[in-house]
Amino acid sequence: MGIVQKASIKLTIVSYLGAALGYMNRVLLFANFLSPNQVGLTNVLLNASVLYAQFAALGIPIISNRFFPFFNNKEKQHNGFFFWGNVLVFIGFMITTLFFFLFKPIIIRQFIDNSPMIVDYYYYLIPLALTSVYFQFFETYLRSLLKTVVPTFLNEVFSKILVTIVIALYALKWINFHQFILLYVGCYFLITFILLVYIIFLKQFFLLPGKSNMYKRLLKPILLYGAFTILSVLGSSILMQIDSLMIAAKLGLAQTGIYGTIFLIATALTYPYRSIQRISYPLVGRLWRNRDMKAVADLYTKTTLTMMIIGGGLILLLWGNIDSIFRFIPKEYSIARYSFYLLCFAKYFDMIMGLNGIIAVTSKKYKYDLYFLLFLVILTIVLNLLLIPMYGITGAAMAAMISLVIYNLMRMFFVWYNFKMQPFNLDCLWVLLITIGTLCIIHFIPFIINKYISICINSIIIAVIYGGVMLFFGFSPEMNNIVYKYTKWSRLKRD
């Protein structure tokens, strides 16, 4: 847990700095200076480009996570792994782009009635997807080398600084909306280019195919794993992007913009979890390679408890301050209040399930995770088709929540049955009860008209009650020791 703990702390700090910038961009600047239709367009372009990029990537990033340790040898230029990864990503992008042109009439037909702006900016998806797929490949390559902070900083912080500058130019009326979109796309090109320069700086930029017997020995498992991975990654991407795209098709860009803004606020819960995932993915792969089941199980339990504690604190902060948060944005966004609650619960549930997905995907039984995912993709699409017309964006949030709960339960029981690991212990139950108890208490906090004072008071009360109880009982020794390191309060120290 030491490697994960130290690296994830750095990544969490970077991620939350990025979250603060993202909140400022999306909740304060986008919502107040762009119309909901324009906000919806930026959401659709970004979400669709991610889906596009997942098709183009051919599963290479996930393959890298699992198999790079077998090729990792800087003196031998990692046996050409970077070269062949680039080749396959380029081929995948060209094939996907061909289908993007061929299926344009079918895609346009889905959006022309309710979201005609998408038609005007259809081809902007190509450069956005290109930057997305290569950033993803470069980031995964660096993650396999345990170089995670710089890619995370570029993706979570620097890109948002660039977007802040661009939206500021638009707010000052120095550029029009068309120019805003051009610069918005350019921001993602720039961070991808910088990441490439960073790889060159680390002297990890190898463009020779390399010669190794590993390719012959591992070609069959790589191809088999890759085939399942492509479908798995596509399924995951569809699950993440489908709600936004279906809202745009069924309800229009304005509703997409409102939903996307609220979704972003709820996503603030997941940053610690994403940081731990980035570090844990290659680490779990190495543990499987060494057949160290005890270490995998120990990591599974510790990360789950840590995520329950952190996730509980964050969900309390969000729920306790939601009234003040909504006062920062136009009133029309308040229709998404119930969507916010549902999405928060979905994200929290996803966090407390720990590393079940990583354990399943990096094991020899990885193919079964695909079956679960394909079922969930179908379920999510069906739920969105049923619930969006009935309940609007609240229906989309309901579909997302049901999908995440079912998916995580399936994976948890799969890992439990096959590897005799489950992430919960008695401390988890106590943490959950304390979280629920604190949630009940914060409902009695008096309403304060001033939103700034309200956020400060509510946050302090939550921190004192929830944080104090967690540290007093020391449910997570790692977290107690971190606080002790900076406070030197001996009561907190754990051996």
Lowest mean pLDDT among 224-238, 288-302, 329-343, 457-471: 224-238
467/16 Cα distance (integer angstroms)? 18
Q: How many CA atoms lie within 13 A of 149 on its CB side?
A: 8
- pLDDT at residue number 7: 56
pLDDT-wise least confident of 208-217, 324-333, 344-353, 434-443: 208-217
Q: If we measure between CA atoms, which residue out of 129, 159, 150 comes closest to residue 19?
A: 159
Lowest mean pLDDT among 55-64, 178-187, 225-234, 365-374: 225-234
Cα separation, 353 vs 238, in Å, equals: 21
Mean pLDDT of 15-22: 76
The C-alpha atoms of residue 442 and residue 201 are separated, in whole angstroms, by 50
pLDDT at residue 381 tops 60: yes
The residue with greater pLDDT, 288 or 50, is 50
pLDDT at 455: 86
Q: Which of 265-274, 312-321, 416-425 has the lowest mean pLDDT?
A: 265-274
Please give the Cα distance from 415 to 372 (Å, whole number): 12
pLDDT reading at 182 higher than 80: yes
Q: What is the pLDDT of residues 431-448, one digit of tens each?
A: 889 989 988 888 777 777
Which pLDDT score, from 0 to 100, does residue 134 have? 87
If one compares 187 and 483, the residue with the highest pLDDT of the two is 187
Rg, C-alpha atoms of the chain? 23
pLDDT, greater one: 207 or 259: 259
Q: Would the pLDDT of 1 be above 50?
A: no
Tokens of 176: 């029009």
Could you tell me the two tokens for 175? 């550029």
Q: 373-377, 473-477, 486-490: which has the minimum mean pLDDT?
A: 486-490
- Distance CA(199)–CA(219), nearest Å, equals 26
Whether 37 and 253 have beta carbons less than 8 Å apart is answered as yes
The pLDDT of 416-421, averaged and rounded, is: 85
